[in-house]
Structure 1
Amino acid sequence: MSQTIDNAPYTAFHRRLALACSGGPLLDGYILSIVGVALIGMRPDLGLSTAQVSLIGAAALVGMFVGGALFGVLTDKIGREVMYTADLLVMVACSVLSFWVDSVWAIAVLRFVLGMAVAADYPIATSLLAEWLPAKHRGRLLGQQIVAWYAGSVLAYVVGYLFLELAGPGSWRWMLASSTVLCVVFLVIRRGSPESPRWLAANGRVGDAVRVVEKHLGVRVDGRELMPDPAERARRSSGLRLLMTPPYRRRTLFCGLFFLCQVGPLFAMLTFGPQILSSFGMPGGTVMETLGTGLISLVFLLGCYPALRLVDTKGRRPVIVWSFALMTVPLALLGVWPTAPAAVALTALCAYAFLCGGPNVLDWTYPNELFPTEIRATAVGVATSVSRIGAAVGTYLLPLSLTGLGTGPTMLIAAGTTALGLLVCVLWAEETRGTALGAAPVAGRTGTAKTSAVPAQRVPQTARG
């Protein structure tokens, strides 16, 4: 199985699947960012306190903490395909209901459920994609999923800006409901996406796995190659408990902690970007602050592109270590210079955003490459959940910190969190570039095993089904 898929030709099928799987990250970026603009009108309309603003900002992230762990396990149990559409239907319902909210708690509950649905999509979609991709394209295409996240974030600020300009701050209900359109678009795109052949084989459905590989990859595979070995069956029965046993314990902690240290400052910045820029004296009122935050989101997106190339040419470990080291510098600068002019602050935050590209493209690459099929979605879900602890805490505390501690200490806390991420990567980051998807997680291996060079056997055009 591993050799057949890892060495299969890269085709239009892979491109379509990558596009379909990008829906979850894109919606996550949009849903988490649009609320930052919506709060401009929501705060005076509903008379929100600082604590209530923090609650609304963090609610979706708390939901992601719950949803990541819960649905990652469920996805490994019942399959990727079953969950692939259900989570989008939940997002549609919550987005529509957001238009009629009239209380803080109603908004918080809907944001919490939205967060659960978004977090469910990460282990579903990234595991499905990883289990179909050829090895030499896996790092790039998994990394591109985070590009979709920032595309969603940039789109949210563009849409929010247009609503502010055309309808004023009172249009915040339309902003919250606007994610419905994106959900429907990806529901259509995802129609017909197949189940993972690796999951099918691991669950005893070898015949189905053979047929789906031949249909979508055009390669003939021997059913005996797909049969899971006894070790794989044992791993499947262990489930979540296996993540905390050697050699997976360190990998589980690494994936969760570097993700946490990355997104804690990042999500707080994107959710409350206008407020951060205002603390540095950004002129022009709410519209200029929104445009400034949109620019930072765009730079986050641009920073992913050189990182996508580097993870495949230089390797995963050097990219993530150097990225964390350099990301600390602009945050520390703003921490020791809290009176910096708005232009300097915006430049420093854009530099931080660009340097985040390395960890960004490895957020889902690492957990998908470090764990076997039987617990892959569980591992992605757990990493997502752990990361959202940092994101929720950072998002909840940032407005309170800016008000209570000031800009300088707030930026120094963000720099310290990023430095902790650097330490985690220096100690625990492994190199998984070119590793066969089924080989890296085996006990006693270091994640450096290369994929076999045995070519896949093409199926004649008339036999592809």
Structure 2
Amino acid sequence: MQIVKPPKIQMDDVPLNRFHIKIAGLTFGAHFIDGYVLGQIGFALTQMTPQMGLSSFWQGMLGSSALIGLFIGSLFLGHISDFIGRQKIFCFSFIIITIGTFSQFFIETPLELFLLRIFIGIGLGGDYSVGHTMLAEISPRKHRGILLGSFSVIWTFGYVAANFLGHYLTYIDPNAWRWLLMSASLPAFIILLLRIGTPESPRWLMKKGRYEEANTIIKKYFGTNVILNDEYSERKAISFFALFSPQYRQRTLFNSLFFICLVIPYFAIYTFLPSILNIMGLNQSFSTDLLLNFILIIGALLGIVLTQTFSRRGFLIYSFIFLAICLGLLSFIPEQQTLVMLMLFAAFTLVLSAVSNLVGVFPAESFPTKMRALGVGFATSMSRLGSAIGTGLLPIAILSFGMQSTMLILTGILASGAIISILWAPETKDLSLVEASDISVP
């Protein structure tokens, strides 16, 4: 009797299995921690400011400190992983995060907290680069959009969790901010333990010529009939400046600029949300926070569906246009029109949260394996640098120019994102990662 061997299938086309879900879960952990770390600082500052006599300068520096670290970590650790491997940075980043978040309990000066949060941000930034890259490199193309887009959902859950815990703890004890800041260390330590022993990316191993190791991992986790044909003829080290070569500079600029245009309004508005709501004439309370946090979660979940249903390019372009219109209208509506303002702000929040799914999808799908971590890391680092600058300057802009002019500036940033996307956004939906070498604007 003749034994029929199962047909060979590409790793891009394997069914979703438990290993995919495991790596996704471990990768999502960084985004939960990121949302949690960025969401908790606003509540911590309300208690720290009178205790430590924080000036406006230090409030701005502490509010943007983790974003500064994210810029550094995304830029350098992602590039390093192209040389030493994804898995090493995958674990090392959470050693940094665990130590940094735990140490926040013991700080005595704002400078100490500022430096610690930069340290934490470096770990988070490195994990952004490597986490997106690892998951993109093992995910089947059919499910890649959902898995990569889910980062935004998990980030939102972390941000909302920090909001709820912050509301609860700040009424218990004047020193509750220490426990709030340190609380991220427990989930970070658990994620670190679970990441130990995870395998290296087979695509990275093949790029380095370690075919036997790569095939062993593929057979163990995906099946004995699974093969991987990828663009591995070029095994020399990739220079950072390759991102700006004629072949890649357009996608480098697109991923960096659309990312920046999307996250500057996000972080600038939601870091200082209580102040903004009060200036706009909307009462800031626990119920208002509850409503907006609920909308953030609904938007993030909706974004997964929209990412999978519509073209990546179309979803991004029309979202930018919608967001710019909403924020522009909010700039001119009188304060007396409270209901209209609230509805517009809710619609803005919903779509902003939904389209934020694409920041985890586009960069990872735009670059070939040989420079994926470098490209993702650079785009992420640029976005966090823009976020840090925008977050730091927002209070100064409101004080100097007023709320209306500040909102119009943010509207201009969103409109710029729409123009950049119309000119340069590629369509990456349903592409294999081999085809990432050949993407172009439709």
TM-score, structure 1 as length reference: 0.89
Deviations 1:365-395 (A, max 9, x none): 1111110111101111100111112201111
Deviations 1:418-453 (A, max 9, x none): 1111111111111111101111223xx5388xxxxx
Amino acid paired to 1:77? F
Greater CA deviation, 74-83 or 267-276?
Answer: 267-276
Distance in 1 separating the partners of 2:340 and 2:107: 39
Ranges in structure 1 where 5+ consecutive residues have no aligned partner: 449-465
Q: Which of 179, 182, 186 is the equivalent residue of 1:177? A: 182
Quote how far apart the aligned CAs of 1:121 are: 0.4
- 2:296 and 2:150 map into 1 onto residues whose CA distance is 13
Q: CA deviation at 1:249?
A: 0.3
Task: List aligned pairs for 1:123-162, cutoff 5 A.
Answer: 123-162=129-168
Inter-partner Cα distance in structure 2 for 1:254 and 1:119: 19
C-alpha separation between the residues in 2 aligned to 1:173 and 1:403?
30
Which letter maps to 1:402? Answer: I
Instruction: Tell me if structure 1 keeps the 8 A contact 2:202–2:215.
Output: yes
Q: CA deviation at 1:341?
A: 5.5
Are residues 1:190 and 2:186 paired?
no
Question: Which residue of structure 2 aligns with residue 407 of structure 1?
Answer: 403
* Correspondence 1:223-262 to 2 at 5 A: 226=229, 229-230=232-233, 232-233=234-235, 236-262=236-262
Residue 94 of structure 1 corresponds to 100
* Structure 2 contact 10–229 (Cα < 8 Å) conserved: no
Take 1:70 and 1:87, find their aligned partners in 2: how far apart are those partners?
12
- Once the two structures are superposed, the pairs formed by residues 277-426 of structure 1 within 5 Å of their partners are 277-283=277-283, 288=285, 292-293=288-289, 295-337=291-333, 339-340=335-336, 344-426=340-422
Q: How far did residue 147 of structure 1 move?
A: 0.9
Q: Which amino acid aligns with 1:310?
A: L
Change (3 A) 1:338 1:413: farther
- Cα drift, residue 92 of structure 1: 1.3
Post-superposition CA distance 1:114-150 (Å, at most 9, x none): 1111111011111111111111100111000111111
State the 1:164 CA deviation: 2.1
Q: Counterparts of 1:120 and 1:340 in 2: how far apart (Å)?
A: 46
Provide closer, same or farther for how the CA distance between residues 307 and 140 of structure 1 changes in structure 2, counting only shifts above 3 A: same
Q: Deviations over 1:8-56 (max 9, x none)?
A: 1111221111111101111111101100111111111111122211111
Aligned counterparts of 1:348 and 1:19: Cα–Cα separation in 2: 34
> Structure 2 residue aligned with 1:41, among 37, 47, 54?
47
Look up the equivalent residue of 1:266 and give its one-letter code: Y
Q: Which residue of 2 aligns with 1:452?
A: none
Q: Distance in 1 between matches of 2:128 and 2:67?
A: 14
SS of the residue corresponding to residue 430 of structure 1 reads coil
Aligned partners of 1:350 and 1:178: how far apart in 2? 30
Q: Which has the higher mean CA deviation after the structures are superposed, 15-24 or 180-189?
A: 180-189
User: Letter of the aligned partner of 1:129 in structure 2?
Assistant: L
Residue matched to 2:119? 113
C-alpha contact (below 8 Å) 1:23/1:186 kept by paired residues: yes
2:269 is matched with 269
SS in 1 for 2:200: coil
C-alpha contact 2:148 2:357 (8 A) present in aligned 1: yes
Quote how far apart the aligned CAs of 1:345 are: 4.1
Residue in 1 aligned with 2:440? 446
Shifted more, 433-442 versus 316-325: the winner is 433-442
Cα 1:342–1:54 change in 2 (3 A) is farther
Offset of residue 228 of structure 1: 5.1
Unaligned runs of 5+ in 2: 1-7
User: 2:206·2:214 contact (CA, 8 Å) conserved in 1?
Assistant: yes
Alignment-mate amino acid for residue 212 of structure 1: I
Query: What is the Cα deviation at residue 77 of structure 1?
Result: 0.9
- The answer to whether the Cα contact below 8 Å between 2:258 and 2:421 also exists between their aligned partners in 1 is yes
Deviation at 1:281, TM superposition (A): 3.5
